[in-house]
Amino acid sequence: MRIAFLVADWADLTPGKSSTLAMIRESASRNHSVYVIYPRNLTVRDNVAYGFARRVQTEGKVSDSVASFYKKAVLSEKMLPLHSFDAIFVRRDPPLDPIVLNFLDSIKAETVVLNDVDGIRKANNKIYTTSFHTVGSEYLPETYVSKNKDYLKRIIRESDRSRWILKPLDGSGGRGVILLETQAQGSLNSLLDFYIDTNHGQSNYVVLQEYLEAAEEGDIRVLMLGGKSIGAYQRRPASDDIRANIHAGATAHKVTLSDEQTRLLHKIGPQLMADGLHFVGLDLIGNKLLEVNVLNPGGITNINRLNRLKLERKVIDYVEQMVDARHAKRSELELRLTQISELRRQLDQSV
């Protein structure tokens, strides 16, 4: 199998932390041809989408150690058509340039793309949770998304809540997440100006969300594959921070999902699959769903370490199954076309 990982940069992948790197090593250990492609290196040549792809290779047997594999890996660049890959795995933090999705649109009928291009387009920001109409409001926090500052101030002013969470719509890794105290609104105008206004005369959407008391104990990252949970862990924030993101200093801990959380996952799974979101990360606080991460969900390394697992094996197994199913479907179609052609030939001869 020839598989490409669409990443920001090879240098950004850190052994022991990067889920992407764990999956790249696993793919290489199976003798797949593995490449990394940077979004900035996509191009079109004679109406065909190409990428300046860097093949990831090591001499001899692929090391069982991700750190050793990463250190010894040699990358060689070659311009390749995107449709020549059996699978392209999108692993890039948001925001993602929408033009990248247009490149992938051109080959999605020929190549397995994870996650599905239309699914990424639909779910690559924090508005996606509003589409879970069948989940039930009890599983979703009170949330407002707007760039209208007067409206957001009115929501805060008229609410009985003493605390809110404010964050950018397309942020990731806990960047820009702040706690708003309703009683301390002196800096609210300044904060909204900072988050919404830009230097180019445009404005950004922000998310205003109820503060959940359970957040003091951290949140839970759940990895979903094929609409089902394959692992989870708890992220506890540092003592001087409200953010439960590992990049922001939170720590990882083993967790057992409650019955209510499991019921929530069962409700969410079918919609994820209907939207082509095969591998995602869900962020839960208590029994409420905060976010769905579809571009670059992490957590494999922490879940592996805490539970003695190798989740990257399950993920690459799944990708292989998708590729095999795509090839089988294509072979069946080609056989039917051959049979139709032969039938037409026989009819022409009989006439």
Tell me whether residue 290 is in a domain.
yes
DSSP 295: S
Choose one of 114, 134, 158: the last residue of a domain. 114
Tell me whether residue 137 is in a domain.
no
One digit per residue, the tens of pLDDT, for the chain of length 351 reads 999 999 999 999 999 999 999 999 999 999 999 999 999 999 999 999 999 999 999 999 999 999 999 999 999 999 999 999 999 999 999 888 999 999 999 999 999 999 999 999 999 888 899 888 788 888 999 999 999 999 999 999 899 998 999 988 887 777 888 888 877 667 788 888 888 987 667 889 999 999 998 888 889 999 999 999 999 999 998 776 666 666 667 899 999 999 999 999 999 999 999 999 999 999 999 999 999 999 999 999 999 999 999 999 999 999 999 999 998 887 777 767 777 777 777 777 776
Choose one of 312, 328, 344: the last residue of a domain. 312
Contact assessment for residue 40 and residue 10, using Cβ atoms and an 8 Å cutoff: no
Structural domain count of the chain: 3
DSSP 158: H
Q: How far is CA 70 from CA 2, 18, 64, 93, 144, in A?
A: 19, 11, 11, 20, 42
End-to-end Cα distance, the chain:
46
Q: Are residues 265 and 305 in the same domain?
A: yes
Q: Are residues 30 and 95 in the same domain?
A: yes
- Nearest Cα to Cα of residue 209 among 175, 172, 246, 169: 169
Q: Are residues 169 and 258 in the same domain?
A: no
Q: Which helix (H) or strand (E) holds 320?
A: helix 311-350
Contact assessment for residue 219 and residue 293, using Cβ atoms and an 8 Å cutoff: no
Tell me whether residue 132 is in a domain.
no
- Sign of the Cα torsion 261, 267, 273, 274 reads negative
Work out the number of other CB atoms within 10 angstroms of the CB of residue 275.
Answer: 21
Q: Are residues 18 and 108 in the same domain?
A: yes
Structural domain for 222, as ranges: 215-312
CATH number, residue 54: 3.40.50.20
- Give dist(CA 265, CA 267) in Å, integer: 5
Tell me whether residue 301 is in a domain.
yes
- Nearest Cα to Cα of residue 208 among 273, 148, 269: 148
pLDDT in tens, 307-317: 999 999 999 99
Tell me whether residue 334 is in a domain.
no
* 104 φψ region: left (φ > 0), alpha (ψ -120 to 50), beta (else): alpha
CATH number, residue 201: 3.30.1490.20
- List of residues 6+ apart from 72 with CB closer than 8 A: 58, 59, 63
Q: Are residues 164 and 110 in the same domain?
A: no
Tell me whether residue 349 is in a domain.
no
In the chain, the amino acid numbered 234 is: Q
Contact assessment for residue 15 and residue 21, using Cβ atoms and an 8 Å cutoff: yes
pLDDT in tens, 25-73: 999 999 999 999 999 999 999 999 999 999 999 999 999 999 999 999 9
Choose one of 211, 231, 259: the last residue of a domain. 211
Q: Is 235 exposed, middle or buried (0-12, 13-18, 19+ CB in 10 A)?
A: buried
Tell me whether residue 332 is in a domain.
no
Residue 234's pLDDT is: 96
Q: Are residues 293 and 257 in the same domain?
A: yes
Pairing type for strands 33-37 and 178-181 reads: unpaired
Sheet strands side by side (includes 251-253) = 251-253, 228-236, 219-225, 279-285, 288-293
CA quadruple 99, 104, 105, 106: dihedral, nearest 10: 110
CATH number, residue 229: 3.30.470.20
Which letter, b or e, does each residue of 335-351 get, where b requires 16 or more Cβ atoms within 10 Å of its Cβ?
Answer: eeeeeeeeeeeeeeeee
Q: Are residues 303 and 199 in the same domain?
A: no
Tell me whether residue 27 is in a domain.
yes
In the chain, the amino acid numbered 24 is: I
What is the separation of C-alpha 204 from the centre of its chain, rounded to a whole number of angstroms? 22
Q: Is 308 exposed, middle or buried (0-12, 13-18, 19+ CB in 10 A)?
A: exposed
